[in-house]
Amino acid sequence: MQELSFTLAISLLVISCSPDQTTYQNPAQKSSGIPRIQKDLARNYPAGVTLNGAQRRSVGMKIWQNESGGKISGLTHWNEGEEFPSLGIGHFIWYPGGFNGRWTETWPEFVKFAQTKGVRGIPSPALLPDCPWNNRVVFQRDFNGTVLTALRSWLVSNIDVQTEFIMAKSQAALPRIMASAPASQRTRIEANYGKVATTPNGIYALIDYVNFKGDGTNPRERYKGQGWGLMWVLAEMRPVPRGQAAAREFAAAAKRCLDRRVQNSPPDRGEQRWTAGWHNRCNTYAAPF
């Protein structure tokens, strides 16, 4: 029963969110059991949640708005106090050579994804294995130069593939979470995932949060042994029914996890300055659309 429930949970996100349902298909869905799985989905998730094309585009725009206010200039950004730039609508991290931070690097992964999709015109600097700017000062000096201007132009012309990449990352999160979570927490995590994934804004929350704070399985992304990624939020959720109540509780649980992160963070990082913005982002998960 647990294995079937897991299949249904991950299948829901694939069916609901993928711009092309064959693009991110779970291998289990390729079997002759597809009609049975779809029937089970209809029974277990009677709301019949799907994201239409406009809603999928809305998810991408919401993520861009969350990360940089929907500004083109925000597509190439380097935060003060950080050792790396953040690029694209999802602020994909790109490490300079020789730096190995605790955060999961996603820019090279996105570029490979775009290549597999046949996206053309990727600027040659974006294909480098390491970020060619060694620090924020150099990056800011080149901000209006030809290289970063061309990169922003390419990114703004390829919003859809960035959204697809973020959705694919979210789809891949649940199997990793189930493999990494303590055995005693897996049923709870799986159930909460399924509850949240029954509304469009709940699906958006699952997609955005993985891009925002990761899936929670990276042991380096923790302070004092406690993390803040999706796995930790799903485990943090209090008992609620599926639907909008679950979306609201997911938002509340995310804020609790992020507040705990700030409390546990090294004081010299000054992470409390981000709390208001993080809370505002989490509040969008509770708003139906």
From residue 78, give the alpha-carbon distance in Å to each of 129, 168, 242, 254, 274: 18, 25, 38, 25, 15
Residues 6 or more apart in contact with residue 185 via CB below 8 angstroms: 235
Confidence of residue 49 (pLDDT cuts 50, 70, 90): low
The domain limits of the chain are 2-53+161-286, 73-159
Q: Is residue 5 scored above 50 in pLDDT?
A: no
Q: What is the DSSP string of 100-123?
A: --SSPP-HHHHHHHHHHTT-----
Confidence of residue 138 (pLDDT cuts 50, 70, 90): very high
Q: Which residue has the tokens 């299948």?
A: 11
Cβ(250)–Cβ(205) under 8 Å?
Answer: yes
Residue 74, Cα to own-chain centre: how many angstroms? 18
Residue 249, Cα to own-chain centre: how many angstroms? 18
The more confidently predicted of residues 262 and 166 is: 262
For residue 149, count other CB atoms closer than 10 A to its CB.
15
* pLDDT for 15: 32
Q: Is residue 252 scored above 70 in pLDDT?
A: yes
Confidence of residue 11 (pLDDT cuts 50, 70, 90): very low
- How confident is the model over 219-243, as a mean pLDDT? 95
* pLDDT for 51: 66
The more confidently predicted of residues 80 and 9 is: 80
Angle between helices 159-180 and 183-196 (to 10 degrees): 150
In the chain, where do the E strands start and end?
76-77, 86-87, 92-93, 222-223, 226-227
∠ at Cα 174 (173, 179), nearest 5°? 105
Confidence of residue 50 (pLDDT cuts 50, 70, 90): low
